[in-house]
């Protein structure tokens, strides 16, 4: 099972920048997209289906905002739209696909960069989401949680930890939530394979075009798994040279 997670920052824009051509290279069996900013009827789905993917969409109620999607070449046994948490579902943030006894959750975590109100909501969402995962684990023990977490966990995951210590996405409370999340039985696949590798980022600010060229980024996209899947993990990568978005795709592979 090969999985890609990718915040495309607008699916229509990403398609114009070559997303379909990249998908033609068969980068993974399952593609999890965040911030699609579109509904299924806005996209020429045949372009994706012709590559062998079935597509599942959970868009925000607000047009042109948020939203997640799963494209898969592996047959899904069950699909669940949303987490049954009202505001999160209104914003199209969580979609779950079951493959046998494994549940894949594709999530677009809120950003707090637009102001104090959204930062407060981000903390609320994080707590609600962890409760949702812990409840789900009671019946679905094998979980893969991929997406844009909007948090750089460690100093190793951000190009300027000192300069960003007061920035949303690297605040002590957000990093503490990541500590708590991992302590609840979850594993960061990238750091399992590459525990100390520096300068590995998945997002670069668009405000300064030179930032990506200089690799002054943040690692805020993750594929995390329950500890019982750790021995099934065979690879994890980041693809900074794929550039249809201000994020880049991340990858994990499992032998199941």
Among candidate residues 89, 127, 148, 231, the one labeled active-site is 148
CA-atom Rg of the chain in angstroms: 17
End-to-end CA distance of the chain: 7
Known active-site residue 127: no
Catalytic sites, residue numbers = 148
């Amino acid at each position: 099972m090969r999985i890609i997670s990718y915040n495309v920052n607008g699916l229509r824009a990403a398609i114009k920048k070559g997303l379909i051509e990249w998908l033609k290279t068969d980068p993974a069996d399952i593609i999890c997209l965040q911030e699609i900013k579109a509904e299924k009827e806005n996209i020429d789905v045949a372009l994706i289906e012709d590559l062998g993917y079935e597509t599942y969409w959970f868009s925000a109620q607000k047009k042109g905002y948020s939203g997640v999607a799963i494209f898969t070449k592996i047959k899904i046994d069950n699909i669940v739209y949303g987490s049954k948490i009202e505001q999160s579902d209104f914003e199209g943030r969580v979609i779950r696909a079951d493959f046998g006894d494994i549940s894949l959750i594709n999530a677009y975590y809120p950003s707090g960069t637009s102001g104090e109100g959204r930062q407060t909501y981000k903390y609320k969402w994080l707590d609600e989401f962890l409760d949702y995962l812990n409840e789900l684990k009671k019946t679905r023990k094998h979980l893969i949680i991929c997406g844009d977490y909007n948090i750089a966990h460690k100093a190793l995951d951000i190009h300027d930890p000192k300069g960003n210590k007061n920035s949303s996405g690297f605040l002590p409370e957000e990093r503490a939530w990541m500590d708590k999340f991992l302590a609840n039985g979850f594993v960061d696949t990238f750091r399992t394979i590459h525990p100390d590798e520096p300068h590995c980022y998945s997002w670069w600010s668009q405000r300064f075009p030179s930032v990506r060229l200089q690799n002054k980024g943040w690692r805020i996209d993750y594929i995390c798994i329950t500890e019982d899947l750790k021995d099934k993990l065979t690879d994890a990568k980041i693809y900074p040279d794929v550039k249809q978005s201000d994020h880049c795709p991340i990858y994990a592979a499992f032998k199941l």
